[in-house]
Structure 1
Amino acid sequence: MFHWINTIGFLEELLKIRQTLTPVKVIIPEWVLFALPDGLWMFSYMSLILLVWKNNISRESVIWIFIIPFVSLLSEVLQAIKVIPGTFDKIDLVMYLLGTSLPFIFYKKTITQKLK
């Protein structure tokens, strides 16, 4: 990220912003800084993909709806068993699960299923 920010000429401004926010960072819980963005990203993906598929879960849409949550959850599990590099974090796992499931709860009145 810093490379492309530097390429477009905004690295100095970004570093100033980061420096200004450093005191605030110590009062924000770690799960908010590191895990919540994953959950929000997943929530955004699920909301968008449900919108694209008009809240219709069918044989055609199910792969597109669940591929990213599956890969995300699988990556955390594979980190836990040391198959891929990274640090397993159960809070990341919880955030992925919440980000995946909450759109279904919020949009449950409009979701249709046609998996037969």
Structure 2
Amino acid sequence: MDSWLNLARHNSLSLDLLLPEWFVYSLPNGLWAFAYALLITVIWSGSRTWLRYFWMASIPVLVLGYEVLQYAMIIPGTFCIKDIALGIAGLSLGIFAGYKLSESNKHEKVFK
């Protein structure tokens, strides 16, 4: 197992030279924030229970809280303002896309 893993690591190290630093280190945070925000928004869009608000509040807490805890040196890692910027962008776009997807599905409920 180690041989293919070492080969994959060796081959992926050369990608660092081709891609910008923010693309390698900060974009995954933004994409994760987008996916999480989209998922939570779509799942809880039709609900009016307190659980909906709990899960919606968890989006910025998880996305931004991780960086804040790194800044405070409570958890290991490197604080990066680019991570926050891309996290906010992903969070915003994910919520917006989730609401748009939910709106487009409302007509289906009328015909049932």
TM-score by length of 1: 0.70
Structure 1 residues 57 and 89: CA distance shift in structure 2, 3 A: farther
Segments ≥4 residues shifted beyond 3 Å: 56-59, 81-85, 107-111
Aligned mate of 2:11, from 9, 20, 23: 20
Aligned mate of 2:31, from 25, 36, 40: 40
Amino acid at match of 2:71: A
- Tell me the residue number matched to 2:86: 95
Matched-pair identity in %: 33
- Tell me the residue number matched to 1:114: none
**Partner SS for 1:26:** helix
**Partner SS for 2:18:** coil
Q: Structure 2: how far apart are the matches of 1:43 and 1:95?
A: 9
- Tell me the residue number matched to 1:76: 67
Amino acid at match of 2:89: L
Q: Structure 1: how far apart are the matches of 2:58 and 2:69?
A: 16
Contact 2:33 2:94 in 1 (8 A): no
What RMSD over aligned residues (CA atoms) do the two structures have, in Å?
2.2
Structure 1 residues 23 and 105: CA distance shift in structure 2, 3 A: same
Higher strand share: 1
- How far residue 50 of structure 1 moved from its aligned partner, in angstroms, is 1.6
Contact 2:42 2:98 in 1 (8 A): no
Higher helix share: 2
TM-score by length of 2: 0.72
Give the unaligned 5+ runs of structure 1: 1-8, 112-116
Contact 1:50 1:56 in 2 (8 A): no
Aligned mate of 1:60, from 47, 51, 54: 51
